[in-house]
C-alpha cells in the first residue's frame, strides 16, 4: 500500500483557503483538499498573544509530491511565517491511498 501525506495550513480568509485548495488540486500537487472553519487560533506574534479567526486547509498527497506542494503553499500563502505541517499516514484504506497516488500523477 502506498503511503499518503497530509499537509495542513491555516489562513485568515475563506477565499484564500479556497484558492489554495483549488490551485493545489488543479496542479496535481494534491489529490484533494478540504477547507474547514472558521476556527479561533491563539498564538504569539510580535511579542504579544494574538487571537484570530482562521480557516484550515488540509491537502492529501503522495510522499513524492510533498516538497513541491509545501513550496507552492509557502509561495501562495499570505502570512510572513505560514504554518505548514506534514503528517505521514502509514495505514488506512488501501484503495484511497492508491487513488491519492494516481491523482497526483501528471
Q: Read off the pLDDT band of 2 (50, 70, 90).
A: confident
CATH top-level class for 4-103? alpha beta
Cβ atoms of 60 and 30 closer than 8 Å:
yes
Q: Which has the minimum average pLDDT: 39-43, 55-59, 70-74, 102-106?
A: 102-106
Per DSSP, the residues of 28-71 read TS-SEEEEEEEEEEEEEETTEEEEEEEEEEEEEE-GGGHHHHHH
Is the pLDDT score of 1 beyond 60? no
State residue 72's pLDDT score.
98
Give the angle subtended at the CA of 38 by the CAs of 34 and 41, to the nearest 5°: 110
- Give me the residue spans of the domains in the chain: 4-103
**Residue 28 cell numbers, joined:** 496535481
Burial of 50 (0-12, 13-18, 19+ CB in 10 A): exposed
What mean pLDDT is predicted for residues 54-72? 98
**Mean pLDDT value across the chain:** 96
Amino acid at each position: 500500500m502506498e503511503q499518503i501525506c497530509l499537509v495542513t495550513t491555516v489562513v485568515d480568509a475563506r477565499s484564500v483557503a479556497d484558492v489554495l485548495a483549488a490551485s493545489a488540486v488543479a496542479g496535481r500537487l494534491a489529490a484533494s483538499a478540504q477547507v474547514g472553519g472558521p476556527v479561533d487560533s491563539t498564538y504569539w506574534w510580535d511579542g504579544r498573544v494574538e487571537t484570530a479567526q482562521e480557516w484550515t486547509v488540509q491537502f492529501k498527497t503522495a510522499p513524492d509530491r510533498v516538497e513541491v506542494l509545501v513550496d507552492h503553499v509557502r509561495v501562495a500563502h499570505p502570512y510572513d511565517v505560514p504554518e505548514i505541517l506534514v503528517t505521514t499516514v502509514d495505514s488506512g484504506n488501501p484503495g484511497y491511498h492508491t487513488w491519492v497516488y494516481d491523482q497526483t500523477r501528471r
